[in-house]
Amino acid sequence: MNKQQLKGLAGKILRVNLTTGSIVVEDSDPYLFRYFLGGRGVGAAILYKELAPGIDPLGPDNKLVFTVGPLEGTMAPGANKMSVSFKSPATNSICWSLAGGHIAPELKFAGYDGIIIEGKSPKPVYLWINDDKVEIKDALAYWGQETHQSEDAIRAEIKEPLSKVMVIGPAGENQVTFACIQADHFREFGRGGGGAVMGSKNLKGIAVRGHGCIEVHDGEKLEELTRNVNEILAKHPKANARKAFGTNEMIDGINALGFWSTRNFQEGSFDGVDKINTASYKNETVFSDVSCYGCSIACGKNARNKKNPYFSAAVEGPEFETTGLLGPNCGIDSWNYILKATEICDKYGMDTISAGAVVALGMELYEKGIIDKVTTDGLDLKFGNGEALVQTLENIAFRRGFGDILANGTKTVGEKYDALAYAPQVKGLEFATYDPRGAKGMGLTYAVSSKGAHHMTSPTMGVEIGNNNRFSEEGKGALVAETQKYMAIVDSMAVCASMRFALSLNQQMRLFEAVTGVALSDEEGMQIGENILTLERLFNDREGFTRKDDNLPTRFTEETMTSGASAGQKVNLNPMLDEYYQVMGYDKDGKPSKSKIPYFA
């Protein structure tokens, strides 16, 4: 197989070594894309092949592997995701994170299917990819700047207003373990600390401008499939809810079902929800829609508080998870402070989910009297104190005082204060906003994900609610396994997860065929999904991860929910874990067989 036999690829991968300053252009390996599709899958394969076990995630031996897929830059619906894979400083496991917007197609137009960043620069730099001209440029002037400021400054310096730029903020420079990489101002590679890895390499940003185009195998078929998906999306109630309210369309439902993270997951429904419900989000904050490349949903929302100019925070979103973690999970019932806290995370470059989770843990420690104002730098860190939330987030980004402790994430904080039982994390990655006691499949999802407690590795809650079996553990091992495989395909096709409302597995395989010319059956697609999961687990296996790491804090396995529509529930994890391992073909300790992966066989 060669590039001509796999259309859709740009054909090159950039390898940049920041220690030596070398920039090498390599041919994309078509087999890598045949067996792992693109995005997350190809990133996992490159990391597995190239990263030695046991390396320091914040040392020069770690790599940042940015990957797209054959669909990026074509008209395929929602094909706009770029993935970055790395060993996470939060978890020491494999990690990947995806951002939408417009930077992924731009990289393809510039002629590349990926960028591999190695080593560590002796001084702050940024990378400027201008078609086939690639330079490492001085970024000393931008080091210390906020994300939006440095993105605009880099764009101005290269004199390319249409370039797409991703940067880190002060949190990445200060190696906050949940620092993110920010692209197109508001699109984040959010989870797992990719921003900290970038900061450890003294890499402030990457700017991209491309003028090429992508050759596809069957343009007419691609157009037909795309039209079909967009017609389904136009009528789909969930897609239309996203169009109207963004992901905050979920607020009312998840709160009513009693599994919305509230006060560090002590409760599952929020008494202040009427002030921050779905309608109030739209009425009080949203003033326009935003779309990523090639998307007909446009779930992005430009938001600011329309009533209160003092709180002039202007953000895109916040996403439902952000609302949950920076809102109810911190006891906050005001869009003023949710927007302000989101803005702080955006401009300093922090994952809003982990940031909200670690502040909420601090709040519970403070209310329990385990820490006091001496520890919190004088802040009255009670649930509901919006000013304390905002100030603490600033302190985290700059590693000031108590912020320096929180900047290492909930697992480290839990260990320090003997509070691991209620530090909401798995493997060191914080829970998303769904309390697993209200949808047991989400408990297994958090537990077995190779990157830690990330909801989008297998978002089973919709199926569980639809099947009216969200409180049952039965069959959840199989449900999570199937959903994980499907999501591994979605992430590796590098299409937006919201496309799944209309994009069946078969349609994804047909899109892949129309673009690349490679026909894959649904079974072959699911096998690829399984292979990607296995590869990620093998990466963790050689880092020493075992069944004991596929676990949940005892708050969720031993304490029942005390109020709301999920009252009386706790998670019985072990039967689900046994079923999951059995379905995936892993042994009792969760160890897979290496022989299952053709590319590495």
Give contact residues for ligand SF4 (rule: CB under 6 A). Answer: 78, 80, 100, 291-292, 295, 297-300, 496, 498
- For residue 315, list its beta bridge partners: 303
CA 357 to chain centroid: 15
Which of 168, 188, 191 is CA-nearest to residue 353?
191
Q: Which is nearer to ligand SF4, 105 or 452 (CB)?
A: 105
**Taking the complex as a whole, how short is the minimal distance between the CB of residue 99 and ligand SF4, in angstroms?**
9
Give min distance, CB of 295 to ligand SF4, in A. Answer: 3
Give yes or no for a cis peptide into 318 (omega within 30° of 0). yes
| Distance in angstroms (rounded) separating the CA atoms of residues 218 and 566 | 50
Q: In residues, how long is the chain?
A: 601
Shortest gap between Cβ of 499 and ligand SF4 (angstroms)? 7
User: Minimum Å distance from CB 120 to ligand SF4?
Assistant: 32
**Measured from the CB of residue 583, what is the shortest distance to ligand SF4 in angstroms?**
29
Q: Please report how the helices 219-235 and 505-516 are oriented relative to each other, as an axis angle in degrees rounded to 10.
A: 150
The least CB distance from residue 4 to ligand SF4, in Å, is 30
Residue 23 vs 298, nearer CB to ligand SF4: 298
Q: How far apart are CA 73 and CA 10, in angstroms?
A: 10
- Of 179 and 299, CB closest to ligand SF4: 299
Q: Would you say 297 or 363 has its CB closer to ligand SF4?
A: 297
Closest separation in Å from C-beta 155 to ligand SF4: 21
SS (HEC) of 226-291:
HHHHHHHHHHCHHHHHHHHHHHHHHHHHHHHCCCECECCCCECCCCCHHHHCHHHHHHHHEEEEEC
- Of 89 and 246, the one with the shorter C-beta distance to ligand SF4 is 246
Cβ atoms of 113 and 26 within 8 Å: the answer is no
Contact 558, 551 (CB under 8 A): no
Q: What is the 3-state secondary structure (H, E, C) of 459-506?
A: CCHHHHHHCCCCCCCCCHHHHHHHHHHHHHHHHHHCCCHHHHHCCCHH
What is the closest distance, in whole angstroms, from the C-beta atom of residue 242 to ligand SF4 in the complex? 6
- Specify which residues 129 forms β-bridges with: 134, 208
Q: Give the sheet arrangement for strand 300-304, strand by strand.
A: 286-290, 300-304, 314-316
DSSP class of 593: P
Indicate the SS3 state at residue 85. Answer: strand
Residue 296 vs 308, nearer CB to ligand SF4? 296
For 86, 365, 456, the CA distances from 534, given in Å and listed in that order, are 17, 38, 17
| Residue 61 C-beta-side C-alpha neighbours within 13 Å | 8
Closest to ligand SF4 by CB, 183 or 332? 183
Q: Where are the alpha helices (DSSP H) in 93-146?
A: 103-110
**Least distance in Å: CB of 82 to ligand SF4?**
12
For ligand SF4, which is the closer residue by CB, 280 or 291? 291
* Nearest distance from C-beta of residue 501 to ligand SF4, angstroms: 9
> What is residue 431's DSSP assignment?
P
Of 3 and 108, the one with the shorter C-beta distance to ligand SF4 is 108
Rounded distance between C-alpha atoms, residue 463 and residue 472, angstroms: 12
Contacts (Cβ under 8 Å, ≥6 apart) of 542: 53
Nearest residue (CB) to ligand SF4, 249 versus 536 = 249
Cβ closest to ligand SF4, residue 346 vs residue 549: 346
Q: What are 417's strand-pairing partners?
A: none
Residue whose CB is less far from ligand SF4, 298 or 478:
298
For 312: left if phi > 0, alpha if psi spans -120 to 50, otherwise beta; the answer is alpha
Provide the minimum distance between the beta carbon of 385 and ligand SF4 in the complex, in angstroms, as a whole number: 32
Amino acid at 426: V
- Nearest distance, CB of residue 348 and ligand SF4, angstroms: 22
